[in-house]
Chains A and B, each alone.
Chain A
Amino acid sequence: MKKRVLSVLLAAAMLSTLLAGCEKKPEAAADGTEAASGDVVTIGVFEPASGDNGAGGKQETLGIQYANYVTPTVEIGGKEYTVQLNIVDNESSNDKAPSAAATLVSAGASVVLGSYGSGVSIAGSDTFKEAGIPVIGVTCTNPQITEGNTHYFRICFLDPFQGTVLANFSSDNFGAKKAYVLTKLGDDYSTGLGHYFTEAFEALGGEVIEETFQEGNSDFTSYITSAKNEGAEVFFAPSSTEVAALLIEQAASQGLEIPLLAGDTWDSNVILNAAEGKNVDIYVSTFYQEGGNPEFDAGIKEWINSDATAKANNGGDDTVSGLTVMGYDAYYVALEALKAAGSTDPAAVNEALWDVTYTGVSGDISFNEIGDANRDAAYIKHANTETGAWDFVAEQSVAE
């Protein structure tokens, strides 16, 4: 008898935790906005806050939150609406992304921003498509995301472009003839960018050694040894910041003397912190160079420094990442679309997005017929291991 009572109690306790789980969601949603009164329009934020890409996702979300802080309302069809951000965590995981997307659908988002990481964007895409909600990709660079659909847009450049930029850069600046490309198995971003880099580099007459690593791997010493043994002149590693930190540490301790190259994900202070004081040579391609818009920089730095949570989410200092800037611009693109649509109906917003043009901090934004931004330049930055900041190297476009 006693046992039965106990088991009923235990079952009740477990159920209550389930319920508690449900209740928590809206609370997270209210993050960043005070109790909205009157008309509210919901913008979904589909970003990783944990897992491999957690650090980058948080920085991107930060840009969106800052934009929301600067402009908390929008005029739609002659009426003032309060913008409510509904932030969900897709946990950097392709399996969890659809359920995170479903949360936003049921929250009634008019438009969704995100995600950092191409894999989760592709994984969540169909959920939004079925619900008819348009999505604005912030920094997801894999071409597959916008291909073959009409609801996914993006404001950043694409991997074929980025891969070519980096291949040109390694050939022009280092005269590299042999590149070592390390990608992560099963990661759409990593394998995609690696593939386009390889293509472009081989087209330039170079030779590429391709190797892969698996989820959960933290031992990169053998890869670095291989790169040295093969006589590679550049080491290209499009990967998450988490992997980057490990890779940089191990490259430094093994005395890898060739430049380390990576894509937009590495534009993060995680990289700067890992590289500070070490003998490594890191170049990344990205969307924005700090100092490009001093007014914006000053504003966001003040906001980050005034808010302890924001500062922690930015990795503990006030370095402005290209991701944050893109998040900021994406929010305004969404507002422009809402204004143009004159309604909070997702279908109308989707329709209006095709014609939206906006001049953001990162440059002019307009969409082509696939839903991709028309962009023709990327910034190359170099990690200064003494000051722990990014040095501007070049603005590179694809010469053709």
Chain B
Amino acid sequence: MEWITKNLPYLMAGISVGGQYALIAIGYTMVYGILRLINFAHGDIFMVAGLIMVYAVTVMPMPLALLLVVVATVALGFLVERAAYKPLRSAPRMSVMISAIGVSYLLQNLALYITGGLSQQYPAIPWLSDTVTILGATTKRVTLVTPVLTIILVVVLGLLIKYTKVGMAMRAASRDFETSQLMGIKINSVISMTFVIGSFLAAVGSMLYFTNYTGVTPTAGAMPGLKAFVAAVFGGIGSIPGAVIGAFIIGICENIIKGVGWTTFSDAFTFALLIVILIAKPTGLFGEKAIDKV
């Protein structure tokens, strides 16, 4: 019993941060599935979602602010795609990727300009940030909510992709981009939809993540973004269940390593794990075979 009380917090932290990585990782993996593009700006969209929340609560009530964060983040994701990626649709893939890196720096520097480079305190969301005690371990309620919410969202997303027309179009586009265009699929709206979904999940992820780790800085999206990207590659980029499972594995391992006392190596471990997986299984855990690598 005492062993559980002592070690449960590590596991809880791992599962919760894993869920938050998962919500970001889905954005990476979906965009990659359809466009074969690694959207480097995704982590920064996540950060901007955090900043919007910081500023939104100063002028409006909390429920409205939450709604605004979702709407504005989705709009930002949509705009980024339209402005930075769509014009390059027929350009070599490398150009689009460089454009993505450009957007990432643009967002970071805009945030630096607006915040003046200082960490902004993320507002406490009532209920979510309440403290709860389970089995003698104290934590915020968000830690418990995150994995549940993540799984619900993933299931809904899975149903959406499997049973709706948009979902079918997405699957078709990810299978064969050109042919699906020839079949009369409006490829631009499918791509926009992908970005909308990815950004929506990033917005939800940011609320959960920043409720736990309450400082929003211009580079706050970089580390979670990178970890989520690793998770997506780990699970097999292009595969949604892969990204989710990869994210949970990375989140849990990271915290267990810290719990064992090897704090210095917790990040090194994450990336070493990635290398091992890629050597053993180059397409990741659930990746398709013969994938076209960038």
Contacts and interface: CB of A to CB of B under 8 A. Distances in A.
A255 interface: yes
Contact of B263 (A223, A229, A241, A270): A223
Interface string A27-55: 00000000000000000000001110011
Interface stretch (A107-115, A146-154, A214-222, A373-381): A214-222
Interface in A254-282: 254-255, 270, 273-274
A342 B216 CA distance: 48
A180 to B, nearest CB: 12
Contacts of A293: none
Interface string A206-239: 0000011110111101110110010000000000
B86 interface: no
Contacts of A254: 9, 138-139
A216 B255 CA distance: 15
Given A216-B223, A245-B215, A253-B139, A55 B13 contact: no
B112 interface: yes
Contacts of A212: 263-264
A223 B266 CA distance: 12
Contacts of A217: 223, 267
B242 to A, nearest CB: 23
Contact of B121 (A211, A250, A255, A274): A274
Contact of A222 (B10, B117, B129, B131): B10
A328 B112 CA distance: 27
A49 B113 CA distance: 11
B208 to A, nearest CB: 13
Contacts of B213: 218-219, 246, 249-250
A55 B259 CA distance: 31
Contact of A253 (B112, B138, B215, B222): B138
Contacts of B267: 214, 217
A54 B264 CA distance: 25
B139 A242 contact: no
Contacts of B118: 50, 54-55, 58
B129 A211 contact: no
Q: Which of A55, A225, A241, A242 has the most CB of B within 10 A?
A: A225
A185 to B, nearest CB: 6
Nearest to B13: A221
B219 A222 contact: no
A312 interface: yes
B121 A273 contact: yes
B116 interface: yes
A225 B9 contact: yes
A362 B267 CA distance: 42
Given A211-B261, A212-B263, A219-B13, A245 B116 contact: no
Q: Which of A216, A219, A223, A255 has the most CB of B within 10 A?
A: A219
14 contacts: A50-B116, A50-B118, A185-B264, A214-B264, A219-B13, A219-B213, A221-B255, A223-B263, A225-B9, A225-B137, A241-B119, A242-B215, A250-B213, A255-B138
Identify the 9 closest CB pairs spanning chains A and B, nearest first.
A50-B117, A222-B258, A218-B213, A225-B9, A255-B138, A216-B223, A221-B13, A242-B119, A54-B117
